Amino acid sequence: MDDPRLQALGTGTAPPVTEADLHAYADRQLAPGRLAQVERFLAEHPEQSARVRDWQQQNALLRDLLAPVRDEPVPPGLAMRPVRAPWPWRGLAAGLLIATVSAGAAWSLRGMVEAGAARAAASGPALTGFAQRAAIAHAVYSPDKRRPVEVGADQEQALVTWLTRRMGAEVRAPALAPLGYALIGGRLLPGEKAPVAQFMYGAADGRRLTLYVTREVGRADAAFRFGQDGAVNVFYWVENHFGYAISADADRAELMKVSQEVYRQLKPG
C-alpha cells in the first residue's frame, strides 16, 4: 500500500511520488519517464533518500548471497531422477535467483527488516559475520513455499553426503522432531570464501527454523551468543572450527532450547 505521507509530498501537476516509485527506483525498475522526478524528490527529502539507500544495500547483500547459485552442480539424487527431457538445472537456478530478488521478494524482506527494527534494539545486539549471513539466508529462503530447500528430507543421506563433500568436512542434520521441528531439507550456500550448509526445519504451525553451518570461523571456540537481524532471532556459537547459527522468528528461550539440543548432538565425542 502506498504511503500517504509520500503522496502528500508530491508537487506540481505530475503524479506524486509514491512508495511504489521508491521501491522501483531502488530495484532499478523505474520507468524512464519517472526517473528524473523521483531523483528530484529524493534530493529534496533526505529521510526518504536514506531509506532508498538502505534498500539498495539490502539488494546488494541478496545479490552477493545468491550469485553463485546458478553455477551449482546438480545435487546427488536429483541427477538420476527420471524425466522426459534433460534436467534444466541452470535454468531453474537462474529462475530461482530472479524470483528471489524480484521486487516482490525484496519488498517482503524489507518489511520484515523494518518491522523488527525496534524489537531488535530491545531484544539483542546486531549481528555480524557468519551470524548475520545466517539471518539473511533464513529471511530469503524460509518464506519460500514452493522450493525452500534444494534437496528434501526424503533424500537426507544424499543431502548430507553432498554437503559433506562440498564443505570438506562431515556435516549432519540434527534430529529435532522431539522439539517439534521436522527436517524439510537443506541446501548449499556461498559463504565469504567457501561453501556453507543450511538445514531447514518446519513446525506443525508452519513456522520454520534454519541451521547454518560454516567453517569460516576463527580458531577459538565461543559460547552461545544471541543477536537479531530485523525480525530474525539468532543463537550462534563456534565449536571445533565450525560455526553454527540457529535462526527463526521464535523467542530467545525457544532458540536457546533448540541450540542446546543441536550442540549436544553435534559435539564431537
The whole-angstrom separation of Cα 121 and Cα 61 is: 21
pLDDT of residue 103: 41
CA 236 to chain centre: 16
The whole-angstrom separation of Cα 61 and Cα 216 is: 18
Q: Count CA atoms within 13 Å of residue 7 on its CB side.
A: 5
Cell of 94: 537462474
β pairing state of 182-190 and 151-152: antiparallel
Average pLDDT of span 28-35: 83
Each residue's pLDDT tens digit, 36-59: 899 999 998 888 888 888 777 766
pLDDT of residue 61: 64
pLDDT of residue 101: 43
| Closest to 212 measured CA to CA, from 104, 135, 143, 127 | 135
Find the DSSP H helices in 76-214.
89-100, 103-115, 117-123, 129-141, 156-167
| Closest to 160 measured CA to CA, from 146, 178, 173, 141 | 173
Each residue's pLDDT tens digit, 137-162: 999 999 988 889 999 999 999 999 99
| Contact assessment for residue 246 and residue 210, using Cβ atoms and an 8 Å cutoff | yes
Higher pLDDT, 124 or 103: 124
Q: If pLDDT is split at 50, 70 and 90, which confidence band does 8 have?
A: very low
What is the side-by-side order of every strand in the sheet holding 208-214? 151-152, 182-190, 195-202, 208-214, 242-248, 232-239, 222-229
Q: What is the dihedral of CA 100, 144, 200, 113, to 10 degrees?
A: 70
Amino acid identity, position 71: D
Return the residue matching grid coordinates 500500500: 1
DSSP class of residue 59 equals: H
| Closest to 148 measured CA to CA, from 180, 92, 186, 174 | 186
pLDDT of residue 85: 40
pLDDT of residue 174: 95
Q: What is the dihedral of CA 109, 44, 47, 49, to 10 degrees?
A: 30
Each residue's pLDDT tens digit, 211-236: 999 988 876 667 788 988 888 899 99
| Closest to 6 measured CA to CA, from 59, 44, 56 | 44
Helix (H, G, I), strand (E, B) or coil at 228: strand
DSSP class of residue 191 equals: -
Helix (H, G, I), strand (E, B) or coil at 205: coil
Average pLDDT of span 9-17: 62
Q: If pLDDT is split at 50, 70 and 90, which confidence band does 124 have?
A: low
The whole-angstrom separation of Cα 225 and Cα 28 is: 37
pLDDT of residue 74: 53
Q: Of 105-109, 167-171, 193-197, 256-260, give the lowest mean pLDDT range.
A: 105-109
pTM: 0.58
Each residue's pLDDT tens digit, 171-207: 999 999 999 999 999 999 988 888 999 999 999 999 9
Q: Taking 60 as the threshold, does the pLDDT of residue 100 lie above it? A: no
Burial class (CB in 10 A: 0-12, 13-18, 19+), 74: middle
